Amino acid sequence: KEAVRFYRLAAERGHSSAQYNLGLCYKKGTGVEKDEKEAVRLLRLAAEQGHITAQCNLNDWRYQKGNGVWNYASFILILLLAFIFRPTAWFNSSK
């Protein structure tokens, strides 16, 4: 809960990493009550500032829910980087 308090203070001041981390807290219900709308709002704020991990999380979340992706450019970039740095993951059929 202490971390959530500090994330919230920094997020309110526009710190993208704090917005991202607080968004994850709301997404998972860590230190706060689980709230997907608030999680998406915070992740979007971070993503709009160029926070690449927030962009990936939004894309992944929207894709899993069948809503397409939030930002195609970041989605393609992440896929490309994943293929370059972990090519064997693309061909691993076990999960």
Q: Per-residue pLDDT for the chain (95 aa), expressed as one digit of tens each?
A: 899 999 999 999 999 999 999 999 999 999 999 998 999 899 989 988 888 888 878 877 765 666 555 556 666 666 666 666 655 544 444 44
> What is the structure's pLDDT at 48?
85
Q: How far apart are CA 20 and CA 77, in angstroms?
A: 19
Residue 63 · residue 69 · CB < 8 Å? yes
Which helix (H) or strand (E) element contains residue 15? none
